[in-house]
Amino acid sequence: MCGIVGYVGPQQAAPVLVEGLTRLEYRGYDSAGIAVLNPRSTAHPSRVVRAKGRVRDLEAALPARLAGTIGIGHTRWATHGEPSEANAHPHTSFDGRVHVVHNGIIDNFATLRSRLAVDGVELTSDTDTEVVAHLVARELAGQDGAGLGFEDAVRAAVAQIDGTYALAVLDTANPDRIVVARNGSPLLLGVGDGEMFVASDASAIVRHTSQVVLLDDGDFASVTPDGFRTFTADEEHTARSAVTIDLTVEELELGGHAHFMHKEIHEQPESVERMLTGRLDDRFGTAKLGGLNLDPRELRRFTRVKILGCGSAYYVGQLGASMIEDLARIPADAEPASEFRYRNPIIEPSTLYVVVSQSGETADTLFAVREVQRKGGTVVGLVNAVGSSIAREVDGGVYLHAGPEVAVASTKALTHMSIGFALLALALGRVRDLSHADGKRIIAGLRAVPGQIAQILAGEEELALAAKELAPAPSLFFIGRVRGYPVAREGAQKFKEITYRHAEAYPTSELKHGPLALISPELPTVAVIPDDDLVERNVTAAQEIRARGGAVVAITHPGVELGDAATRRIEVPRNEVELDPILLTIPTQLLGYHAAVALGEDVDRPRNLAKSVTVE
């Protein structure tokens, strides 16, 4: 949430910053800004340009020539203060010397603002971030004119802050360096040839370098063109070395698609096949998940599984819990990670805790990891981003290998999470009572998934027609039963996120206990009706909706007799019953996408949302 980029080196900084912000815009797009230092200009040693709206609005506001080879930039997802130019980053100190960009939330900002106001500092924004610029400037100036050095001033300012932060700071008196600090919000350094980069996400700098330094919580760094020095709040040196990231510029381009969401939906057959490579063990009918760091004996000691995720990851967690109960026959449930630690949860040594996050930086999920570990529990992760905070802090896990996902509404990564849960359920089942034959049955089903997704995508035209019919409705129901209910919840989530239509998911069996009162010709329903042991009851529920004038789009299997229970039928190929929800989810992605396109909405950048939620 929010994006940071910084540059110091021989190039002109402004183009590098704008390019990086464009790639980071999925992290926030309420406003954007850059600050560039130019020590050769005595009249303007620094220039700050900010704009409300998208990065393109910032780019339009830039002067024709903005000289300077060091700078920082930011694209904002608003927390404190409305989206406006005044609240956009970078923020500047009262004396014009210090410029700051910040991701995270400063919990004690109100106290700090009051203290600064008493001291005569005029605050010009409503943000929590502005206080940081003033605090650093005061430490640089000192009470008697004998201030601290740049790095020490940043450390002293940060010592007064409570909360989460990724900070990048410029000082016009030190135009050869950027000082950064991290606590609870992602930040990395990019190592180039005679140049260095700062970013909240590697996608911002991938065109320039594949060598990155991942900072840990509590790290500070001083970054110059020749390299970097990392240290702690106590001025102790920390040994941080560069690693190579597996990311290319081409993966971050549209590649002929109109939107990143469309591209990512269509990448799923290939990406799922890639994820499964090397993870299916035919000999023993199980999954190879060495990254769990749990041998079969350790897996057997768990008598319960608790899954923690936020948003769509939580809904996929519900789907995963169903797979685990089906295949491993141990109790499993999912819970929003955002609520978990606040209820003082009982952590059991016999429970395996599984956290799910595409970015690996979701703050609520990361705090849940720490709560489990603080109380002695075992926690593993299903994470897409290699080297992310959650990936580094969990006891083990499964990398999703979905590749980069730029659209805010997750599709590809969510499918990979489902596959990850299927693999975990298979591994847990095979150390218990799941037979070798059933293990091989699930393996065969998983191998069929990529081709079956491709088959669903081949029917996109029919899904687009259905989406156009649904788009005008002010409100919709998504319904499903047992394994179909998480599919319905995720489908409703996608529709809400990108069409701004109200969409609500219900267990199919709950319709008659109240929600049926809302059925009318103006309220259509998307019904998940797999060919399972509840098919007749699901069809009956759809007929009850039709009898009251409601339209029904049925996502179902070939051969299911719907009669007049559906106004439109979307067929999904059959797989094993435990794996069917993975495929049933794919049409809901295209329904949401094409409905948003029909409504003319910004599919990849839905209002009020950001890709990686790194604040509570």
Question: Where does a domain end: 422, 457, 492?
Answer: 457
From the candidates 2, 263, 310, 496, give the one annotated as an active-site residue.
2
Q: What is the mean pLDDT of residues 97-117?
A: 94
Same domain flag for 23 and 153: yes
| Strands laid side by side in the 552-556 sheet | 502-507, 475-480, 525-529, 552-556, 568-571
Same domain flag for 595 and 483: yes
Q: What is the mean pLDDT of residues 255-273?
A: 96
User: Do residues 210 and 252 make contact, with C-beta atoms less than 8 angstroms apart?
Assistant: no
Entry field: residues in the chain: 616
| Domain carrying residue 394 | 254-457
Same domain flag for 59 and 11: yes
Task: Mean pLDDT check: name the lowest of 43-47, 106-110, 358-362.
Answer: 43-47
**pLDDT the model gives residue 144:** 66
Q: Half-sphere exposure (CA, 13 Å, Cβ side) for 374?
A: 10
DSSP label at residue 512: G
**pLDDT of 86 higher than 90:** yes
User: Do residues 58 and 21 make contact, with C-beta atoms less than 8 angstroms apart?
Assistant: yes
**pLDDT of 557 higher than 90:** yes
Question: Where does a domain end: 457, 480, 514?
Answer: 457
* Confidence label for 615 from pLDDT (cuts 50, 70 and 90): low
**pLDDT the model gives residue 614:** 64
Same domain flag for 67 and 216: yes
Helix (H, G, I), strand (E, B) or coil at 415: helix
**pLDDT of 354 higher than 80:** yes
CATH number for the domain harbouring residue 450? 3.40.50.10490
Q: What is the mean pLDDT of residues 44-61?
A: 92
* Confidence label for 78 from pLDDT (cuts 50, 70 and 90): confident
* Confidence label for 10 from pLDDT (cuts 50, 70 and 90): very high
Same domain flag for 87 and 152: yes
**pLDDT the model gives residue 247:** 80
**pLDDT the model gives residue 613:** 72
Same domain flag for 216 and 318: no
Is residue 611 annotated as part of the catalytic site, yes or no? yes
Nearest alpha carbon to residue 294 among 390, 432, 428 = 428
Nearest alpha carbon to residue 200 among 16, 385, 27 = 27
From the candidates 263, 306, 496, 611, give the one annotated as an active-site residue.
611
Same domain flag for 110 and 21: yes
Count of domains forming the chain:
3
- Using CA atoms, how far residue 181 sits from 13, 158, 230, 500, 508, in Å, is 21, 8, 9, 37, 49
**pLDDT the model gives residue 71:** 97
- The tokens describing 17, both together, are 């910053």
Q: What share of the chain in percent tops pLDDT 70?
A: 98
Query: Token match 């994470």: residue?
Result: 383
Q: What share of the chain in percent tops pLDDT 90?
A: 84
Same domain flag for 200 and 342: no
pLDDT digits (tens, 9 = 90+) for 118-166: 989 999 999 999 999 999 999 999 866 678 999 999 999 999 999 999 9
pLDDT digits (tens, 9 = 90+) for 588-614: 999 999 999 999 999 998 988 876 676
Report the Cα–Cα distance between both ends of the chain, in Å, rounded: 11
Same domain flag for 505 and 434: no
User: Do residues 324 and 427 make contact, with C-beta atoms less than 8 angstroms apart?
Assistant: no
Is residue 310 annotated as part of the catalytic site, yes or no? no
pLDDT digits (tens, 9 = 90+) for 401-436: 999 899 999 999 999 999 999 999 999 999 999 999
Same domain flag for 615 and 555: yes
**pLDDT the model gives residue 209:** 93
pLDDT digits (tens, 9 = 90+) for 562-593: 999 999 999 999 999 999 999 999 999 999 99
Question: Where does a domain end: 251, 275, 309?
Answer: 251
- DSSP annotation string for 160-213: T--B-EEEEEEETT-TT-EEEEEEBS--EEEE-SS-EEEESSGGGTTTT-SEEE
- The H or E element containing residue 4 is strand 3-8
Same domain flag for 479 and 358: no
pLDDT digits (tens, 9 = 90+) for 466-500: 999 999 999 999 999 999 999 999 999 999 999 99
User: Do residues 109 and 123 make contact, with C-beta atoms less than 8 angstroms apart?
Assistant: no
CATH number for the domain harbouring residue 98? 3.60.20.10
Q: Which residues pair with 188 in a beta bridge?
A: 199, 214
Same domain flag for 412 and 517: no
**pLDDT the model gives residue 278:** 95
| 10 preceded by a cis bond (ω within 30 of 0) | no
**pLDDT of 229 higher than 80:** yes
